[in-house]
Amino acid sequence: MRILLTVGLALSGVAVPAAAQSSDELLATSRAASSQLVQQLGKELKQALAAGGPANAIGVCKDVAPQIAAQLSRSSGAKVARVSLKARNPLLGTPDVWEQGVLAAFDRRAASGEKAETLEYAEIVAEPQGRYYRYMKAIPVQPLCLACHGTEETIGPEVKQRLQAEYPHDRATGYSIGQIRGAVTVKRRID
96-127 pLDDT, tens per residue?
999 999 999 999 999 999 999 999 999 999 99
Specify if 114 maps to a domain. yes
pTM reported for the whole predicted model: 0.86
Burial 30-59 (b: 16+ CB within 10 A, else e): bbbbbbbbeebbeebbeebbeeeebbbbbe
Domain assignment present for 150: yes
To which H or E segment does residue 74 belong?
helix 65-76
Is residue 7 included in any domain, yes or no?
no
Q: Is residue 48 part of a domain?
A: yes
- Residue 41, domain member (yes or no): yes
How is the beta sheet containing 180-189 ordered, strand by strand? 79-83, 180-189, 130-140, 120-127
How far apart (Å, rounded) are the C-alpha atoms in residues 106 and 185? Answer: 13
Query: Domain containing 65: what range?
Result: 19-189
Give the chain's domain count: 1
| Average predicted confidence (pLDDT) for the chain | 89
Give the CA angle between residues 36, 37, 39 to the nearest 5°.
Answer: 65
Query: Between these two residues, 48 and 12, which has the higher pLDDT value?
Result: 48
Nearest to 66 by CA among 17, 128, 74: 74
What is the pLDDT at residue 4? 32
Any domain includes 119? yes
In a domain? residue 6: no
